[in-house]
Structure 1
Amino acid sequence: MKRISIYFTTSLLLLGIFTSCNKQTGKSSKTGMAYNDKYNGGFEVNSKVKPGPGPGLIAIEGGTFVMGGSLNQDLGYEFDNVRRRVTVASFYMDETEVANVDWLEYLHWIKRNFPNDAEYYYNALPDTLVWRQPLSYNEPYVNNYLRHPAFQDYPVVGVTWEQANAYCEWRTDRVNEEILRSRGFLLDYKTLTAGTGKSGGATSVSSSSDPFNTDIYLNGQYRGEGIDGKKMKKDLNPNAAAAGTNSGSKGAVRPVRLEDGVLKQPYRLPTEAEWEYAALALAGNTEYENIADGRIYPWNGLGVRSPKKRTQGMILANFKRGEGDNMGTGGYLNDKADITAPVRSYTPNDFGLFNMAGNVNEWTADVYRKLSFEDFSDFNPFRGNEFVNKRLSDRDKGVYAKDKYGRPIKDSAKTGKKQKWSELQGNAAAADSSIAGKPYNPDFRGHLDTVRANLYGTTTLVNDRSRVYKGGSWNDRAYWLNPATRRHMQQDETSAEMGFRAAMTLVGSPEIISKGKPQFTQPKSKATGKTK
């Protein structure tokens, strides 16, 4: 078994955070015009880098694998994960499940920034009543599990799929806000708090007190006195200096753009394929593109006990060994957990991920279909796409409409392709009404889909709100520890056995570590004389 060097990988990728703002020297190979020259128009190009993962994430190098291939027995005769070869792009994934302390941080932010919005806070609360059982004395967990410091590093449970997604959106904004404030692109927290008493409460260009939102910021709608930092980027566009927008002795400045490579990609739930691929971690059994041994669990071997001398016989995950046996024998508790266990328990898999089997089941992004394997894309397979557009409050200026929490309002996309300008203007009135017309449906059956409308959710328990979860839990038998097993639950339902972890898209080259691997040497360009 080959353990991937996670810590080296993370350090290598984090380097991208600090180098992504270096300006690209030279000139365009197609026009001959110099980059980053304020006298020729000010087109800015940064050095090409691979940005690092966001806080809490680990790099997962993608590749091909047989989805469903680790399922050596189908006890329920479900036939809902039949083997098929797919490719998963490289991505980032949380090292651990989201813990209670992480969720309490989320709740604290809501209460601090929206102290009078009881509905917002209430809707973010996990359902702690999931611990109540008619014939079980679990009542103490109702009040203690989420908030008592003894459980602060235990996985949060009682969270719906919808709440998990809302947390990911919130986390994206907080991570990007921290990056911008710590580097001086936005006003630092100390100065901000001294002036307003809360994070994100400064006056923006729209004269609102909305918290920071990544999309709103990238659209240039989060600027002004009390928001702009002392180290904002210089705007090389000569028209910006002439307009005098936010200009001073140092000339015109601007917010960070996506092209600068400073901000992180959105946190999100992993797809089912990503989750299964990351749990198996077959990269640990791979050498020169050959997989030496398959797996049934996130570790090698056919059993659930450690073969190592120091830990021989110890259970490798937190699960229910049999009826009435949740923790082993008093005096020698084998898995050392009665309900959930701390998120950093047992041994991580070869990607460095903890508890990818047992502890809590984990939400994935996918809509459940029993026959998902029959209609899938073999690259980044995913079912559940609902394409949306950000609503515009001012179409001419491209200003996004915002909800009461300062987030962009999103409407169902009307088409799957870019419209002509004339079409866009012709549909402006319909678009402004937000839901006029039939939303674009990415389902491959399109308008011929009568099954979805007439059967799913009517004659079956499966519908578009059925979401896949995987991994097994503290209250499941060993069979469900297999990463290929799949179950579903409604996206607004909760359970004491359900938690989640987040993922993030990796942009750029999929290879995580290039050192020591053969590479093609690129000759000098005949056009520029430089080596790329």
Structure 2
Amino acid sequence: MKKLLLSSIAFVFLLTSCGSKQKGELTGVQGKKWYPEKPYGMELIPRGSFIMGKSEEDQGKLLNAPTKTVTVRSFYMDDTEITNSEYRQFVEWVKDSIVRTKLAILADELGIGPEEGGIGDYAFKDADTTRASVYDKYMLDNYSGMGETGYEGRALSKDEDLVWNTSDYPDEYYTEIMDSIYLSEEESYNGQRTIDVKTLKYKYSWMDIEAAARASVKGNQSRKDFIRTEEVEIYPDTTVWIRDFSYSYNEPMHNDYFWHDAYSEYPVVGISWQQAKAFCNWRTKFKNDDNKSRGRQFVNQFRLPTEAEWEYAARGGIEGGTYPWGGPYVISDTGCFMANFKPQRGDYAADAALYTVEAKSYEPNDFNMYNMAGNVSEWTNSSYDPSAYDYVSTMNPNGGDQSNTRKVIRGGSWKDVAYFLQVSTRDYEYADSARSYIGFRTVQDYMGEEDSTQ
């Protein structure tokens, strides 16, 4: 028996040795093939150093931007502000997911599956056990009922298109769910019922890596202590067009700016810092869901730029420039304004625009970034502290204090004077605030690009 056992071990060892492609060499673990690609709509900002802060006179006398030489790593950045059209894609995705989740839950409660049609066509994928994978069955058996709703982790069926035309609703259960996402008839007028935007909430989790890393030396906290869950109403606050300006007629902008196709390529506004962060999380998920379906490796996260990254990108490689185009003037040699702002002590229309302009307007800077000055101010990931430049690192600096709700905005907007368009000017707004003159753009860390020679 002992000889038989030894023979079996030797045979297994022989098979392992013969089948190895490493031939006893240290070749490293071979993971998935990495398909680096330039993110759609983004430009590569190459790593480099620059003098961050007010190298020119601090006309505002704020004393909050002393010069400091810093270095930032390479990253991709949206060449324009996020547009209404792009943000609407996020809103539509959330709306679609909420409706499908509601339909699937009701179908589960009623015990209706795909074979029965109607609302059953939208049942959870694992409801059809004949098509469910081993993994789906395992998760259903072992984790069903866990979580806040008891339905977390169950896959939605997207095989069937949603029906929005009331005359085509498949059954009364479907009608019940669709009715729940619209405003009541008492809140509707002119015979039109609209989506209750307060139902459009995006829920996601993230890990506070910085807090976890700093706490790891104590060794008395687990990973779950640093997982944060956020639930954010993601529809833009269109009332900002009214509330931001007292005694001013801006109802057309309130009524049409976000949803009408005429404004599709204009920058989205009325977005809080928290909503911008939620968008970044969704954009990462949206891309990685597609990569997963293609068997590709996940991309790293989309995020808001740090204050230093934003200023570096805005300067476009021009050392000591006052504006993204260099400066120090806001009018070109042909007599045209070079950005959308409030020139000449309040003549909003002097630059050919009263409010915002399309995101790809005016000439880009040398990094091919549009409207890094004017149009809309932009959220950054950094928290505002007047003395931040005194203590932040010289390598990839970021004043990212989670407890500080004042977040840095940069670039100035359509309603600002030229001082706020300067690449070194700092300003802030509270994270839960939304304004008619604040938008955002996203960045992604650089991890290589495709070899064009192959």
Same fold (TM over 0.5): yes
What is residue 74 of structure 1 aligned with on the other side? 58
CA distance in 1, matches of 2:38, 2:363: 22
**Residue equivalent to 1:271:** 306
Q: How does 1:277-316 map to 2 (within 5 A)?
A: 277-282=312-317, 285=318, 294-307=320-333, 312-316=334-338
CA distance in 1, matches of 2:404, 2:32: 42
1:379–1:120: structure 2 CA closer, same or farther, 3 Å change rule?
farther
Taking the TM superposition and a 5 Å limit, the aligned residue runs for 1:157-306 are 157-181=269-293, 183=294, 185=295, 262-282=297-317, 285=318, 294-306=320-332
Query: 1:352 maps to which residue?
Result: 368
The one-letter code of the counterpart of 1:178 is: D
Deviation at 1:385, TM superposition (A): 5.4
- Residues 32 and 502 (structure 1 numbering): CA distance in 2 closer, same or farther, change over 3 Å? same
In structure 2, the CA distance between the partners of 1:103 and 1:45, relative to structure 1 (3 Å rule), is closer
Q: In structure 2, do the counterparts of structure 1 residues 90 and 26 end up closer, same or farther at CA, with 3 Å as the change threshold?
A: farther
Secondary structure at the residue paired with 2:44? Answer: strand
State the Cα distance separating 1:300 from its structure 2 match. Answer: 2.5
1:121 is the counterpart of 2:200: yes
* Residues 373 and 345 of structure 1, relative CA distance in 2, 3 Å threshold: same
Q: Secondary structure at the match of 2:341?
A: coil
Shift of residue 494 of structure 1?
1.1
Find the counterpart in structure 1 of residue 162 from structure 2: none
Q: Which residue of 2 aligns with 1:134?
A: 246
Q: Could you tell me which residue of structure 2 aligns to residue 88 of structure 1?
A: 72
Residue 280 of structure 1 deviates from its aligned partner by: 0.2
**Residues 51, 320 of structure 2: 8 Å contact kept:** no
**1:489 is aligned to 2:446:** no
Return 143-152 or 114-123, whichever deviates more.
114-123
- Structure 1, unaligned stretches of length 5 or more? 1-24, 36-42, 186-255, 257-261, 286-292, 329-334, 387-462, 516-532
SS of residue matched to 1:362 = strand
- 1:134-188 per-residue CA deviation (whole Å, 9 max, x = no partner) reads 311101111101011111110000100000000010011111222333x3x3xxx
Going from structure 1 to structure 2, the CA distance change for 1:367 and 1:354 (only over 3 Å counts) comes to same
Question: What is the aligned partner in structure 1 of residue 39 from structure 2?
Answer: 54
Query: What SS is found at the alignment partner of 2:342?
Result: coil
What's 1:475 paired with?
415
Query: Cα gap change, 1:46/1:179 in structure 2, threshold over 3 Å: closer, same or farther?
Result: closer
Deviation at 1:75, TM superposition (A): 1.9
Q: Distance in 1 between matches of 2:236 and 2:408?
A: 19
CA deviation after TM superposition for structure 1 residue 336, in Å: 2.4
* Paired letter, 2:322: I
Could you say what secondary structure the match of 2:87 adopts? Answer: helix
Ranges of 4+ aligned residues in structure 1 off by more than 4 Å: 25-28, 116-120, 512-515
Q: CA RMSD in A?
A: 2.5
**Aligned 8 A contact 1:363 1:500 in 2:** yes
2 CA distance for matches of 1:152 and 1:63? Answer: 34
Q: Name the structure 1 match of 2:382.
A: 366
Task: List per-residue Cα deviations over 1:431-489 (Å, max 9, x = no partner).
Answer: xxxxxxxxxxxxxxxxxxxxxxxxxxxxxxxx711100010000000111111101111
Q: Check conservation: 1:279, 1:356, Cα contact below 8 A.
A: yes
What TM-score does the superposition give when structure 1 sets the normalisation length?
A: 0.54
For residues 170 and 65 of structure 1, the distance between their equivalents in structure 2, rounded to whole angstroms, comes to: 32
> Percent of aligned pairs with the same residue?
38
Letter in 1 for 2:298: L
What SS does the aligned partner of 1:176 have? Answer: helix
Q: How far did residue 294 of structure 1 move?
A: 2.9
Preserved contact between residue 54 and residue 175 of structure 1 (Cα < 8 Å):
no
Matched residues in 2 for 1:475 and 1:353: separation? 20
Alignment check: 8 A CA contact 1:131 1:139 kept: yes
Cα deviation, residue 50, structure 1? 8.0
Would the alpha carbon gap of residues 26 and 46 (structure 1) be closer, same or farther in structure 2, given more than 3 Å must change? farther
2:264 corresponding residue in structure 1: 152
Matched residue SS, 1:128:
coil
Q: Conserved in 1, the CA contact under 8 Å of 2:315 and 2:326? A: no
CA contact (8 A) 1:376 1:382 kept: yes
Partners of 2:41 and 2:372 lie apart in 1 by: 15
Corresponding position: 1:112 with 2:93: no
**Secondary structure, aligned partner of 1:146:** coil
Residue type matched to 1:124 in 2?
A: I
Whole-angstrom distance in 2 between the partners of 1:513 and 1:353: 24
1:33 to partner: Cα distance: 4.9
In 2: Cα distance, 1:503 partner to 1:179 partner: 19
